């Protein structure tokens, strides 16, 4: 997984191909779509907990791209000037993709509700005000008084005729927004440093980017060959029919439901075998398709290490360790992340020296201003990190813990990005929350109550998400930019503009929905999320954490296992176990996806072994069909639910 150190920059060893400038009309159209996408996303998120931007191949964004691809030939009949070129289609998708989770699990789902809940639930019996609220900076919240209408109104409803109190949110949003934008820019710059190496030197697969790239592989105004393939439409129909039946069942119960999210039965009932009881047996057609596109070793490792985790649990029970399995596996994962992150950085040390030389002007002007924006990436990363540390100190956090938290953040995000770029997990984030990992390892008593509170609050953007992180999406954005041959120096600013448009639209739309409906009337998750967040914070503040011996053992085992897997993979080409499978073995995404990954891997193995690699390539459109079918039907169901409310077809 980690290549040997290289001394040259990719752009120094490869002749730069012709680049394409950013189309102004495509950029403007993308911004308009982003505003609409965010508004729709906020309403569906808060009212029904349906996520229009779910996953690293956002379903709503794929539907927009597919619609534009289909409309394009019609536009050609009207006027050739109206036709969107391939680079324009990919730019629109790129911008939607990098911001798709902003009105969802990476940002909008947590920030506003938790800011309100931090004050509303600061009362005796839940969180005594002297626990954290009395010392909290008033810049962080619209009011420090839970009786203020800006707080109570969100939970108990506004008075008749009372407008949404946007005015009282100006101060906290003016303080928080620069932090959010700096954090996103830091992510963009960090990915900008590493993306040329991952694309050109290590040649990672980037399986999910194959979908938009192949959808647009056609002359302007023409349909891509992929969309003319019968296998694609056959599998598209299969995915669509499955979820159409589920959608119809919601309104016509006489139509039988198709349960795609089953749980296995009790196989053993007692003893060590209980580790294999109630296995999740979920079927996700899109993940079957993605797994078919993966390399065999990655696909195998993903499902193997899920079962290996269960085997470890079996062994623990057999030797009398009946509790604490989750914590033990989590600390193994933390150790694995730490070792893998260091291994990636170590293997890149020669490349990073070259990046630094390019950034400070010791390389040719062509290197600086060509395809790779090294100067923007390096100095943008440094400036963003320094600003974030300064902002945290202004908010009341000590500099030490700001440095620890946000110094570790890009490394954790990079490992998650590595999982996406090689393993193509449709939904994936680090299986632990970084701030909570720091609390557990360092101890909340040493960190201090206010630092714990502020590290929790700053985690609500990015770190809190259990579904996706922005850095993996940004790495995909750079890869799409390379395939489209965009001028790379423009791409960081394009992605940042897309994210900023999403954040500012969230400011308006999220507050409107929260106050107009009130928190108790929101969907099943948003209605209780802020209460759960405060309870978790109170647990950390009221019960200082300390590492037990078993936790240190788990940390060491996870680190040692990952190092062993990295070394074996470097030395032996036949070694079948990929370290990414181990670090991705924990969390609800792999619990739900493991069976679908196994099925996709089996399909690829059977096809390649018995029919040959040419047959594998001929059947790739079938995998795309499974993916596109789910994206389309779940987006259609979201639109239907706007007019005829019902629960989401898939709980995520």
Q: Which residue has 């953040």 as its token pair?
A: 409
Which bin fits 322, alpha (ψ -120 to 50), beta or left (φ > 0)?
alpha
**Distance spanning both ends of the chain, measured CA to CA:** 29
Task: Of 55, 238, 31, give the one whose Cα is nearest residue 635.
Answer: 55
Asked if 275 and 317 count as a contact pair (C-beta separation under 8 A), the reply is yes
Is 28 a member of any domain? yes
Q: Where are the alpha helices (DSSP H) in 197-264?
A: 210-215, 230-251
Q: Is 157 helix (H, G, I), strand (E, B) or coil?
A: coil
Find out whether 184 and 499 touch, Cβ atoms under 8 Å: yes
State the Cα–Cα distance between residues 592 and 263, nearest whole angstrom: 10
**Nearest-angstrom CA–CA distance, 288 and 214:** 18
Q: How far apart are CA 479 and CA 66, in angstroms?
A: 19
User: How far apart are alpha carbons 147 and 149 in whole angstroms?
Assistant: 6
- CB of 290 within 8 A of CB of 601? no
In a domain, 1, yes or no: no
What SS3 class is residue 324?
coil
- What's the pLDDT score for residue 164? 97
Could you tell me the sign of the dihedral formed by the alpha carbons of 626, 635, 184, 450, in that order?
A: negative
Whole-angstrom distance, CA of residue 473 vs CA of residue 33: 18
Q: Quote the CA–CA distance of 302 and 582 in Å, as a whole number.
A: 7
* CB 452, CB 444: distance < 8 Å: yes
What's the token pair of residue 54? 């779910």
Question: For residue 255, what are the CA distances in angstroms to 92, 320, 481, 642, 644?
Answer: 39, 48, 45, 22, 17
Distance between CA atoms of residues 227 and 628, nearest Å: 11
Inter-helix orientation angle 399-423/470-484, to 10°: 50
Q: What is the pLDDT of residue 364?
A: 54
- Those residues of the chain that have pLDDT short of 50 are 7, 11-16, 365-370
In a domain, residue 648? The reply is no
What is residue 255's predicted lDDT score, i.e. its pLDDT? 96
Kindly tell me the sign of the dihedral angle through the C-alpha atoms of 94, 100, 106, 111.
positive
Specify if 620 maps to a domain.
yes
How many other C-beta atoms can be found within 10 angstroms of the C-beta atom of residue 628? 29
Q: How far is CA 452 from the centre of its chain?
A: 24
* Structural domain count of the chain: 1
Residues near 250 by beta carbon (within 8 Å), at least 6 away in sequence? 646, 647, 649
Q: How many residues does the chain have?
A: 652
Q: How many Cβ atoms sit within 10 Å of the Cβ of residue 137?
A: 15
Answer yes or no: is 2 within a domain: no
Domain membership of residue 18 (yes or no) is: yes
Q: pTM of the prediction?
A: 0.95
Return phi, psi of residue 262, to 5°: -85, 160
Is position 651 within any domain? no
What's 100's DSSP letter?
A: T
20: left (phi over 0), alpha (psi -120 to 50) or beta: beta
Cβ proximity of 267 and 273 under 8 Å: yes
What pLDDT does residue 20 have?
77
- Give the other-Cβ count within 10 Å of 8's Cβ: 12
d(CA 48, CA 652): 12
d(CA 311, CA 306): 9
DSSP string, 52-88: TT-TTTTHHHHHHHHHHHHHHHHHHHH-GGGPPPHHH
Please choose, from the candidates 648, 603, 637, 584, the residue with its C-alpha nearest in 3D space to the C-alpha of residue 418: 584
Token pair, residue 308, equals 């290996």
User: CA 478, CA 204: separation in Å to the nearest integer?
Assistant: 13
Is 179 within 8 Å of 530 (Cβ atoms)? no
**In the prediction, which pLDDT does 365 show?**
39
Predicted confidence at residue 464, as pLDDT, reads 84
Give a yes or no: residue 276 inside a domain. yes
Q: Which domain holds residue 157?
A: 10-643
Backbone angles phi, psi at 431, to 5 degrees: -70, 5
pLDDT of residue 18: 60
Per cent of the chain over pLDDT 90 is 87
What φ, ψ does residue 439 adopt, rounded to 5°? -60, -45
Residue 498 in contact with residue 98, Cβ under 8 Å? yes
CA distance 517 to 150: 14
Neighbours of 194 (CB within 10 A): 25
In contact, 558 and 335? CB cutoff 8 Å: yes
């Amino acid at each position: 997984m980690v290549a040997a150190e290289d001394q040259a920059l990719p752009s120094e060893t490869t002749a730069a191909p012709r680049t394409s400038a950013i189309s102004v009309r495509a950029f403007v159209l993308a911004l308009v779509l982003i505003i609409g996408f965010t508004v729709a996303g906020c309403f569906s998120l808060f009212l029904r907990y349906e996520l229009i931007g779910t996953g690293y191949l956002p379903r709503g964004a794929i539907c927009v791209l597919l619609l534009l691809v289909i409309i394009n030939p019609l536009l050609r009949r009207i006027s050739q000037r109206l036709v969107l070129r391939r680079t324009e289609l990919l730019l629109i998708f790129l911008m939607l993709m990098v911001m798709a989770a902003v009105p969802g699990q990476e940002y909008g789902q947590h920030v506003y509700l938790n800011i309100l809940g931090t004050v509303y639930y600061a009362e005796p019996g839940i969180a005594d005000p002297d626990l954290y609220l009395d010392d909290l900076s008033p810049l962080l919240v619209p009011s420090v008084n839970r009786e203020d209408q800006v707080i109570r109104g969100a939970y108990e409803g506004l008075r008749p005729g009372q407008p949404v109190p946007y005015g009282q949110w100006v101060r906290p949003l003016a303080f928080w927004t620069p932090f959010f934008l700096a954090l996103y820019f830091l992510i963009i710059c960090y990915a900008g440093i590493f993306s040329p190496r991952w694309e050109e030197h290590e040649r990672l697969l980037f399986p999910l980017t194959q979908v938009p790239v192949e959808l647009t592989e056609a002359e302007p105004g023409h349909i891509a060959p992929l969309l003319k393939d019968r296998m694609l439409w056959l599998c598209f129909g299969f995915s669509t029919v499955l979820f159409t039946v589920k959608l119809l069942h919601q309104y016509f119960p006489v139509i039988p439901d198709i349960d795609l999210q089953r749980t296995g039965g009790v196989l053993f009932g007692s003893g060590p075998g209980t580790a294999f009881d109630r296995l999740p047996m979920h079927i996700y057609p899109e993940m079957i398709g993605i797994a078919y596109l993966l390399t065999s070793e990655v696909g195998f490792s993903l499902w193997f290490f899920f079962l290996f985790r269960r085997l470890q649990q079996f062994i623990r029970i057999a030797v009398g360790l009946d509790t604490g399995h989750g914590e033990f596996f989590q600390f193994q994962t933390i150790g694995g992340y730490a070792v893998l992150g260091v291994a990636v950085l170590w293997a890149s040390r020669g490349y990073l020296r070259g990046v630094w030389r390019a950034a400070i002007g010791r390389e040719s002007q062509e290197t600086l201003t060509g395809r790779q924006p090294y100067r923007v990436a390096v100095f943008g990363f440094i400036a963003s990190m320094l600003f974030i540390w300064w902002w945290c100190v202004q908010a009341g956090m000590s500099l030490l813990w700001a440095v620890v938290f946000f110094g570790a953040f890009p490394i954790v995000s990079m490992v998650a990005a590595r999982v996406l770029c090689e393993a193509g997990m449709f939904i994936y984030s680090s299986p632990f929350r970084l701030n909570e990992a720091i609390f557990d390892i360092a101890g909340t008593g040493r960190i201090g109550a206010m630092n714990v509170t502020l590290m929790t609050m700053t985690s609500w953007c990015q770190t809190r998400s259990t579904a996706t992180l922005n850095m993996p999406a940004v790495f995909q954005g750079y890869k799409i930019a390379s395939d489209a041959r965009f001028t790379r120096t423009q791409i960081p600013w394009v992605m940042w503009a897309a994210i900023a448009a999403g954040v500012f639209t969230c400011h308006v739309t999220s507050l409107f929905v929260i106050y107009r409906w009130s928190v108790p009337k929101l969907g099943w998750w948003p209605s209780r999320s802020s209460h759960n967040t405060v309870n978790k914070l109170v647990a950390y503040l009221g019960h200082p954490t300390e590492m037990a011996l078993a936790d240190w053992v788990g940390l060491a085992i996870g680190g040692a296992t990952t190092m062993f897997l990295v070394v074996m993979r470097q030395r032996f080409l036949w070694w079948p176990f990929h370290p990414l499978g181990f670090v991705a073995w924990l969390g609800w995404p792999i619990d739900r996806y493991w069976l679908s990954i196994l099925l996709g891997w089996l399909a690829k193995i059977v096809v390649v072994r018995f029919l040959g690699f040419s047959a594998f390539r001929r059947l790739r459109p079938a995998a795309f069909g499974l993916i596109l079918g789910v994206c389309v039907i779940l987006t259609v169901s979201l639109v239907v639910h706007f007019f005829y409310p019902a629960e989401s077809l898939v709980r995520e």
